[in-house]
Each structure stands twice: as C-alpha cells, then as structure tokens.
C-alpha cells in the first residue's frame, strides 16, 4: 500500500469541495478517488426522521464513480461555498490505521471566520491510497 500523510490526504480531500474551477475540481477527484469509489453520506437528523416515518429503515445517500462524485461535490460547492458564503477545512486531527483515514472537518463562514458546523470523515483507501469508500457524518 502506498503511504500518504493522513493530514495531507484530509487537506486535499477538503480542498476538492471548495475548488471553484470545474476542470480543477474534476482533476482533484480523479487524483483522490478510485475510479469506482463511493461517497456515502449520513443525512441530517431531520431527513432521517422523515424517512423513518415513511417506513425507510436506512437513509444513507450514495454517489459512486467519478461522474456521480463530481456532481455531488459540484452541488455542494454551489450551495455552500458559492451561494452560502462558507468554506470547508479539515481539523488537524487526521489519523491513519492501515487503509483507513479518520478526520474531523469544519464549515466556516468566509465573512466572519466563525465555525458554523462540521462533521466526521472516514475514508477507506485502496492499495494506491485512493479513496475507495468515503463515509461522511455531518454534525458528528
């Protein structure tokens, strides 16, 4: 397995979410992710509660492959960075255990610098240290 600094990976991972140039964003995705990588998001609690009332026993949201991940990252950029006035940054707490990297991240107001939210990220890496599975827990 190719070794990579867990903090460097966390920082590059977060940078893809704030990259304004679509071509650069796609290139970052292709450098970071395995071709069949999957982004798995635990939705906010209010969405999970609504889904449970409708009889759904799970509520994970998934995007698999470069194209789907690119759409997911682009929509997040448009909503939170471009229109919302936020940026994302990793906390300085990334750790690696074999092929798994765990770190926290923050949503930060560009205008005030205040932390408005954040979460926990668990990345499962392939033998080339590219993201095979990404488990995102906003609010954690």
Q: What is the pTM of this model?
A: 0.89
Report pLDDT digits (tens) over 39-93. 998 877 788 788 888 887 777 788 999 999 999 999 999 999 999 999 999 999 9
Average pLDDT value for residue range 22-40: 97
pLDDT tens track for 111-133 = 999 999 999 999 999 999 999 99
Contacts of 53 by beta carbon, 8 Å cutoff, 6+ apart: none
Distance between CA atoms of residues 59 and 47, nearest Å: 8
Task: Return the CATH fold of 6-138.
Answer: Nuclear Transport Factor 2; Chain: A, (3.10.450)
Average of per-residue pLDDT across 88-112: 97
Residue 1 pLDDT exceeds 70: no
């Amino acid at each position: 397995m190719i070794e990579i600094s867990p903090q460097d990976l966390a920082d590059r991972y977060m940078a893809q979410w704030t990259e304004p140039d679509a071509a650069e964003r796609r290139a970052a995705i292709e450098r970071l992710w395995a071709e069949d990588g999957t982004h798995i998001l635990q939705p906010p609690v209010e969405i999970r509660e609504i889904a449970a009332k409708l009889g759904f026993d799970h509520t994970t949201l998934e995007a698999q492959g470069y194209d789907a991940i690119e759409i997911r990252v682009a929509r997040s950029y448009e909503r939170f960075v471009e229109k919302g006035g936020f940026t994302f940054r990793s906390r300085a707490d990334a750790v690696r255990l074999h092929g798994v990297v765990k770190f926290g991240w923050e949503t930060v107001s560009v205008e005030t610098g205040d932390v408005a939210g954040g979460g926990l990220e668990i990345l499962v890496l392939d033998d080339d240290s590219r993201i095979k599975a990404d488990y995102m827990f906003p609010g954690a």
